[in-house]
């Protein structure tokens, strides 16, 4: 009887010890899982901080470069203005002398040459000013894109567009209507604080093809400067194309602006042709991510 009672009294103790061991193992496993999760969260946080720091440094470098370029071009413009003033003063002096020396053909020739030089100088100054303005605009857009990446990494949502604009991949598109030549379509986009669209991917092309007018729309591609060298209005090179078979052909000698047909295919056309539609683009604005 003693041995039997002793055997029955040990059985609950074994079951109790086994249950405690299982609980201890479950506690260790739970602690290990929490430790692993915390480690992953810390690694993700460190990577995010590192990426944000890199983006901020890149943005700061771009802003600094924009400031330096702007100061340099302002200095160049001041020097050009000074040279133009000196040339104008020389021209006035020559004109004054010409009144008393009308028979001096050499002076007349110098005067004509000076007038030509002054005209060329003004033309060169305008071209340099336009180049500087285009460069500054591109640099400002690159800075804006970097800030957009920083805001997105901080949880912002960059998909806000003005009324009547359509959002796609952090950009806003406006599908204008009305009979316009290419240059007037460009001015219309400028007035809307945008520019004629530049297309750089098949995804963007597919999106635009769903919305463009079936009668054809102006886009921001042209080869006005060098025949056959197409450049977008934002200054970027053509790294994607969707030409209609046989295009561009410069038919009739002078098709220097590009339109998107209703099918989505591209065609070079006369810049003075009247089209009933055009497409503008601008960067979307950022705001807090919606819950």
Nearest by Cα to 55 from 146, 138, 152, 128: 146
3-state secondary structure of 228: coil
pLDDT of 140 strictly over 50: yes
Contact 84, 75 (CB under 8 A): no
Residues 6+ apart with CB under 8 A from 14: none
Tokens of 220: 């921001």
Mean pLDDT over 130-135 rounds to: 60
* Model pLDDT, residue 7: 46
Could you say which DSSP state residue 154 is in? T
* Model pLDDT, residue 22: 79
Tokens 């030409």 correspond to: 243
3-state secondary structure of 252: coil
Mean pLDDT over 55-61 rounds to: 71
The span from the CA of 221 to the CA of 91, in Å, is 42
Note if the pTM is more than 0.75: no
Contact 196, 189 (CB under 8 A): yes
Give whole-number Cα distances, 230 to 20, 61, 226, 245, in Å. 78, 30, 8, 17
Give whole-number Cα distances, 276 to 65, 136, 185, in Å. 41, 32, 10
Contact 179, 77 (CB under 8 A): no
Mean pLDDT (the chain) is 80
The span from the CA of 269 to the CA of 255, in Å, is 4
Count the residues in the chain. Answer: 291
The span from the CA of 138 to the CA of 198, in Å, is 13
Contact 269, 181 (CB under 8 A): no
The span from the CA of 241 to the CA of 209, in Å, is 13
Least confident of 36-40, 103-107, 207-211, 279-283: 103-107
3-state secondary structure of 144: helix
Greater model confidence, 68 or 244:
244
Nearest by Cα to 221 from 191, 253, 199: 199
pLDDT digit string (tens) for 258-290? 999 999 999 999 999 999 999 999 999 987 765
């Amino acid at each position: 009887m003693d041995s039997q009672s002793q055997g029955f009294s040990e059985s609950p103790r074994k079951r109790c010890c086994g249950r405690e061991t299982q609980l201890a193992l479950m506690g260790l496993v739970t602690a290990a899982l929490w430790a692993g999760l915390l480690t992953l969260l810390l690694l993700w946080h460190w990577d995010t901080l590192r990426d944000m720091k890199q983006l901020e440094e890149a943005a700061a470098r771009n802003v600094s470069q924009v400031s330096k370029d702007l100061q340099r071009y302002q200095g160049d413009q001041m020097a050009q203005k000074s040279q133009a003033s000196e040339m104008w003063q020389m021209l006035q002096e020559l004109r004054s002398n010409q009144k008393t020396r009308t028979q001096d053909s050499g002076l007349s020739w110098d005067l004509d040459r000076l007038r030509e030089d002054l005209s060329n100088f003004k033309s060169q100054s305008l071209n340099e000013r336009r180049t500087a303005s285009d460069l500054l605009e591109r640099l400002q857009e690159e800075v804006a894109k970097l800030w957009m990446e920083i805001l997105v990494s901080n949880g912002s949502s960059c998909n806000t567009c003005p009324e009547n604009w359509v959002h796609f991949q952090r950009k806003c598109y406006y599908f204008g209507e009305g009979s316009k030549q290419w240059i007037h379509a460009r001015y219309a986009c400028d007035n809307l604080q945008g520019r004629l669209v530049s297309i750089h991917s098949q995804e963007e092309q597919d999106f635009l093809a769903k919305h463009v007018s079936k009668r054809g729309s102006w886009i921001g591609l042209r080869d006005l400067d060098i025949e056959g060298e197409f450049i977008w209005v934002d200054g970027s090179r053509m790294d994607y194309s969707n030409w209609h078979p046989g295009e561009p052909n410069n038919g009739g000698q002078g098709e220097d602006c590009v339109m998107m047909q209703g099918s989505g295919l591209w065609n070079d056309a006369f810049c003075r042709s009247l089209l009933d539609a055009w497409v503008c683009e601008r960067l979307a604005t950022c705001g807090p991510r919606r819950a």
